[in-house]
Amino acid sequence: MGEKLYPYVIFLPTKKKQSVLRAIFRSKVSIDILQYFIDKGISRKVYQKGLIDAFSYSNKTTIERLKDLTDLGILKEDMEKTESAGRTVWVKHFVLTDLGKWFALLIAEEDALSRDEKIEIIRSALKSYAKGLRELSEKLGVKKEFLEEIFQEEMT
């Protein structure tokens, strides 16, 4: 096999994994939303109005996909107060969660993310993976030193 393979690891919520996968892959809108985050920077806020304006999908379709992605923990939604033409206006924005960043990594071209963004994803993935291994090891009665030894072997 001559093609380079990229090692993707995605941590999915145990009880919602089918729903999460369907929400991402059943609709081009969800993929386009994630791609928009990649283009803007995976750690940056993205405003709902910017998303709606960026696509040719109906407002309703875009808002429904944003709600789905938020409900499943792929996006985090927030509101902020701003001044516009002397009036106070509330605007909605979204950020990718750790899970959302992992999916962004899955669909992004390898060079689409900055070095810092890749480092943040690696840090987050390692932290989540280590926590899961620790919890499973405790459940199975495996000593923490066993995992530390393996980690040290692989890091040298």
Q: In this predicted model, what pLDDT tens digit does every residue of 74-130 receive, in sequence order?
A: 999 999 998 888 899 899 999 999 888 888 878 877 777 788 887 887 787 788 778
- Give the total number of structural domains in the chain: 2
79 touches 70 (CB < 8 A): no
When mean pLDDT is compared across 18-27, 36-45, 46-55, the lowest value belongs to 18-27
Q: What is the DSSP letter of 16?
A: G
User: Is the model's pLDDT at 1 over the cut of 60?
Assistant: no
Q: Which two tokens stand for residue 23?
A: 């929400």
Q: Which two tokens stand for residue 40?
A: 């803007």
What does pTM read for this prediction? Answer: 0.74
Provide the pLDDT confidence category of residue 139 given band limits of 50, 70 and 90. Answer: confident
131 lies in the same domain as 65: no
Please report the pLDDT score of residue 5 as a whole number: 57
Across all residues in the chain, what is the average pLDDT? 85
Region 14-38 average pLDDT: 85
- CA separation (Å) from 82 to 21, 86, 90, 133? 35, 10, 6, 44
Q: What is the DSSP letter of 4?
A: P
124 lies in the same domain as 70: no
Provide the pLDDT confidence category of residue 45 given band limits of 50, 70 and 90. Answer: very high
Last residue in a domain, options 94, 109, 124 = 109
Residue 6 lies in a domain: no
